[in-house]
Amino acid sequence: MEGFISVDRQAQIDFILDHFENPRHYGALPDASVVQKAGNPGCGDVVTFYLKVDDAGRIEAISFEGEGCTISQAAASLVAEMFHGRTLADVEATSSDTILDLLGREIAATRLKCALLGLNTTREAVRIVRRQSQEGEHDSN
């Protein structure tokens, strides 16, 4: 059966291509609470995530900009779509496996750094927001 692509695999490829060609929440967010940039030096993928977080820890708005391979940019779009309107705790509770399963483990397995760049960058942005919040609490005491 060489050359045969399963329907599931083709659906995963189509899903990735759709996010790559039609990225969700793409572009700078001028009033972001935090801006976090990261990249994969080995392959040249770069993403910048913008998060606007309310006082309750909910992500009011999230967007990204970037360049790189199809998987890194599609995964960034997926992450932005997933976390729009969600909480910082949701980001912290999301495992790498969730992203890999959504992208298709077989497809993403050879490009783990690319597939997880968006999630890892968003997690780092959340850590920064948490740190800023704690510093703000100390300043007001």
In terms of Cα–Cα distance, which of 27, 33, 38, 70 is closest to 55?
33
pTM: 0.90
Q: What is the chain's pLDDT, residue by residue, as a tens digit (141 residues)?
A: 445 556 688 889 999 999 999 999 999 999 999 999 999 988 899 999 999 999 999 999 999 999 999 999 999 999 999 999 999 999 999 999 999 999 998 888 889 999 999 999 999 999 999 998 888 765 655
Q: What local confidence, expressed as pLDDT, does residue 109 receive?
A: 86
Give CATH for domain 12-131: 3.90.1010.10
Structure tokens at 4: 């045969």
Phi, psi of 41 (to 5 degrees): -55, -35
